[in-house]
Chain A
């Protein structure tokens, strides 16, 4: 998996700016850490040297920190200044990270929601479509730890690690060689271990998830068991399954933690090797005490970002998976419905549907299949048929909200011209309809109402809208007898005003009130 999704950088402005700023901050941090190591070496070396230091032990790079820093007063001022800068860098980085994360999430969420809305109800019912709500609510929030924790460490690994290595190289090439030799081993071993254990851990993970879902399933059936008086037995089973799950989990963890161990082992052991080598070379006078101290302080800093990247790997995985899901939605092309001509007014028009067929999300059936009917103005057309045979889908197609697999929707206008939906703007066409779906939404304020309240409000909106076609999907399902009678009266009144009413229903009373009853049926799809 790539550590940074290039689409984030290329397409999301706040993400790009953040990555650039973080890289700059990383660079500054690298400089501060390097200079701090030199200052520490300057300060401590005189204490350790058997005789007063005369020459500069830090070579070319030492010109950054003059030898005057060997004096306690000067050195401490240097250190204090560096600490202040580092505190500022850390604080700024954290603030920026949080802001950028929030901005990127908002940006992506807005885009995904807008695009998913354009993809339409058919896509929403498909496999990808059904996960999009999770993506835009909980999923994208996984990007916050990615931006706050992972990306900064990645940038530090890309800046601090190579720069520190260069500084060490200038100070002492043997230590640099030890570090440069061990550094590539870290990713190498992690990949190797990953390859060796992948199959094993995938198997464990599957067993673990299976057991976990069985425990949860058992427990969530408790009210049902209680209602049948069978609730006592499963406690032992919960423990048994739980213990099996624990053993499976530990089995997978023993392997999963191996890569972490190798990471820590390699990085710490390398620091130890550098220290031991320096010690023996000091004895033979091959290296100055100032150099040795600077390298000793720098060596762990080379590895620290690499180790942190490994530690925050999971934050990266969750965040990137969420970004990936979001971009998958954004990159799904919109299936065009309708054409380019202006949408006509449907007042006084007869709507007609000819041979309509729409495949179900799994593609195995057509629901509806070969649906043909006319909905003249001033009449009530009832669509009836078993659940799942495509009544709601037919209504969506009638309004131009989804693209059928076969068949045509058109309107015979009041002036006698026939206009196919395929020729005109689908958005304008849709706005000729007053629609009450099965679970009306009514926007954010509607979400605090009960389903019955929402249904009544949505029906009122439809009857009062003055639109030429009213489309109702099981309008009486959640209403009591009185309200039901009232709705039927409203429907009759609307038809009397010349409105074309199309209603999908099981309700006997409503079917009796209809001028035409259309049977909607499904059929097994014939593979071409």
Chain B
């Protein structure tokens, strides 16, 4: 049932996502028109040139050719000119769509339940909103518009032929259909095979290559280098066999297109020569009909590539919908940016067990953190410490028990207003040190920032930076070390006004000096009367906490 629903959801994902992109109808039509004019110029050039040669063969006065000569030259220029305009217009449409789509996806995510947003990894968000949105833009430029142009230009070519000799129109229409629809169907088969391949054979190649590369030293020590290389060769061979499923329909599609164009040429010449011999048409008409197919198939030739692009884009659209499911109505805004007026709050858990959907719930814990207290939650990795934190913060409803703030059940609205969570992989933005600290609170002054950095032992580091607090950090914190990153996140937490702080694995990547900084930060937070919960598997940090709750074997909150 859910599978059926999922299939239904996926169907038309591209259409819905393109709808979200809000493509401008006028600009899209303009792009199709200019694109058709470009390829139409090639068809026009072939037709008028044929007419002109045929007319000239009758040795008329040169003046009779004057207009045709001008038209031929116009088509000669038109192709390049219109193509340039088409490319600009179509890219403009697509880029505008991509901007709207990004904003739409961002807004949906911002309004989505915190339980959906918090576990998202940077890589996921980046891939969906970066490459996948670009793929939607490509659906316009390389998929929809070339398809539309193929239909328009083929239609016009068929129209010209049919207007002159209906039978020639029928021949051309049949062949264009074979070339277009046949190639599209075969390409789709090829693309499906390629997609299946990507998750099986190609994934195996990637795994083998990565293992052979990244564990090269290990393979040398254990004497498994040769077998790792053999595994890669075997994976590549399996992938090559699987690639046949892609190559066969693709080659067939190319062959079908060539065949259809050839048949159209033979058919049109036969019709033209026969009709001319019967005296039904004059030599100029015969020439146009005979030579038209030579130019008319170019537009249809773009169909396989366009089809492939649409297929790729459809998959991207599915992934985008998975990340940010379309909501029926714009959900009401949950949390407000204004922080809660409360200066302090009591966090309490009564027999709370936490779980993400389809996860085994954690053992039930009870705890109470009053303002000025630091509580440590310990337990081995994978036991659910982070999940418990999300539940205490209101991002996730408890699987059992009650989580309370000041005696009232904690809700999603509390996250960001009363509760601040500092995740283990919290994001450092590609902006200045100061702006990164202002993520906690927009009004942070330079002095406050330096003070917070001082607590975590980064004051000297920040002052020594080329532009001090105005130094721009690389995106994702790539230009700071693991330890500096953790300390910056701690400084950010210090500046956040929230009365309750939940901090995940603050000791990770910290050496001795870093741990001292962490102790100082926790002391500052508790000194200011905040209620703090830290989660860690590092037992040396426990003396920094007033009390400890273990998820391995539950201690009662003494």
Contacts and interface: CB of A to CB of B under 8 A. Distances in A.
Contacts of A216: 126, 129-130, 475
Interface string B107-148: 101100010011110100110011000000000000000000
Contacts of B208: 444
Interface bin, chain B: 35 or more
Contacts of A444: 204, 207-208, 211, 231
Given A44-B272, A90-B251, A296-B50, 14 more contacts: A44-B286, A50-B58, A83-B258, A90-B255, A220-B122, A220-B125, A226-B415, A279-B53, A280-B65, A282-B59, A283-B56, A300-B295, A431-B223, A435-B222
A2 interface: no
A478 B476 CA distance: 24
A481 B236 CA distance: 42
Interface string B351-393: 0000000000000000000000000000111100000000001
A95 interface: yes
B273 A387 contact: no
Interface stretch (A238-246, A348-356, A365-373, A416-424): A238-246
B463 interface: no
B269 A229 contact: no
Nearest to A83: B262
Contacts of A238: 102-103, 106
A85 to B, nearest CB: 10
Interface string A256-297: 011011111110111111011011101101000100110011
Contacts of B3: none
A227 B223 contact: no
Interface in B205-233: 205-225, 227-229, 231-233
A440 interface: yes
Contact of B240 (A102, A116, A254, A478): A102
A50 B117 contact: no
Contacts of A261: 80-81, 83-84
B470 to A, nearest CB: 16
Top 9 closest A-B pairs, CB basis?
Answer: A229-B416, A272-B76, A480-B380, A83-B262, A265-B80, A441-B215, A117-B216, A242-B99, A94-B251
Interface in B522-558: 537, 539-540, 552
B440 interface: yes
B95 A224 contact: no
A48 B219 CA distance: 76
A228 B69 contact: no
A254 B61 CA distance: 44
A24 interface: no
Given A220-B125, A387-B482, A87 B262 contact: yes
Contact of A221 (B55, B265, B427, B512): B427
Contact of B217 (A137, A235, A437, A461): A437
A165 interface: no
Interface in A185-218: 212-218
Contacts of A23: none
B129 to A, nearest CB: 5
B185 interface: no
Interface stretch (A105-113, A155-163, A485-493): A105-113
A117 B232 CA distance: 13
Contacts of A260: 83-84, 87
Given A116-B216, A430-B220, A227 B229 contact: no
A94 B187 CA distance: 13
Contacts of B408: none
Contacts of A278: 53, 56
Given A50-B59, A83-B266, A279-B69, A94 B250 contact: yes
Contacts of B263: 83
A148 B225 CA distance: 33
A433 B72 CA distance: 79
A76 interface: yes
Nearest to B70: A276
Given A228-B439, A260-B87, A272-B72, A401 B269 contact: no
A75 interface: yes
A443 interface: yes
B247 interface: yes
Contacts of B170: none
Interface in A385-404: 386-388, 396, 399, 401
Contacts of A508: 540
Interface in B477-492: 481-483
A136 B504 CA distance: 36
A280 B421 contact: no
B423 A227 contact: yes
Interface in B70-93: 72-73, 75-77, 79-81, 83-84, 87-88, 91-92
A249 B266 contact: no
B270 interface: yes
B106 A253 contact: no
B220 A40 contact: no
A232 B330 CA distance: 14
A217 B476 contact: yes
A283 B110 CA distance: 73
Contact of B210 (A48, A102, A133): A133
A243 B103 CA distance: 11
B335 A94 contact: no
Given A91-B252, A480-B552, A388 B232 contact: no
A267 to B, nearest CB: 8
B45 A229 contact: no
A121 interface: yes
Interface string B402-444: 0000000000000111001111001101100000000110100
A391 to B, nearest CB: 12
Central interface residue in B57, B91, B208, B266, by most chain A CB within 10 Å: B57
Given A217-B476, A443-B231, A109 B209 contact: yes
B225 to A, nearest CB: 6
